[in-house]
Structure 1
């Protein structure tokens, strides 16, 4: 994925939050875009361990990736998740979420 400019990220944020009236609705809009457009499952490495990201979830503290390895499952904040190289399709929405989160 090519590095997006601030203007491009702002456009994605605007697209995801167009009908949102508050921060909670904005977060839900960004979650929806990530859930709809991020190609899953995909593999990545977390703390030196290979995991598979099967889905994303919206929690009180933000958007998380549900990572699995064997029978173990853990939620990791998606902004803390290292993405593989190349990143999965739709990863631009994670970048937009990062931009929104750092307002």
Structure 2
């Protein structure tokens, strides 16, 4: 837990307000989470292509299967076992968002 707290501090340093803190997390997830990676969403194998920060708030994972694309909140994204490199940033974001 101490490591996650350190990561949260790194993501939110110099951020004023929740919106800027969210941008800090997005930046670190975008830099550190190794995409693409495979996972299962609602029993369906998908590829997480990238991490995005849309205007409506929240950090989203852009998932694809065949020609279909779906966006899922990173907070709801099931991680595979083993998780991709940098997945600890997703865990830090989840801890911060509670």
- Please classify the TM superposition score into its range, dividing by the shorter chain length: over 0.9
2:33 corresponds to: 38
Deviations 1:61-88 (A, max 9, x none): 3001000001100100011011000000
Name the CA distance, whole Å, in 2 between partners of 1:22 and 1:61.
Answer: 13
Instruction: Compute the RMSD of aligned alpha carbons.
Output: 0.7
Name the CA distance, whole Å, in 2 between partners of 1:29 and 1:13.
Answer: 9
Q: Secondary structure at the match of 2:13?
A: coil
Q: Normalising by the residue count of structure 1, what TM-score does the alignment of the two structures yield?
A: 0.91
Q: Normalising by the residue count of structure 2, what TM-score does the alignment of the two structures yield?
A: 0.96
Residues 18-33 of structure 1: pairs in structure 2 closer than 5 A: 18-33=13-28
Name the CA distance, whole Å, in 1 between partners of 2:44 and 2:15.
Answer: 37
**Residue 66 (1) aligns with residue 62 (2):** yes
1:89 corresponds to: 85
Name the CA distance, whole Å, in 2 between partners of 1:66 and 1:93.
Answer: 17
Deviations 1:33-75 (A, max 9, x none): 0000000100001111100001011122300100000110010
Equivalent pairs, count: 97
Give the CA deviation at 1:10. 1.1
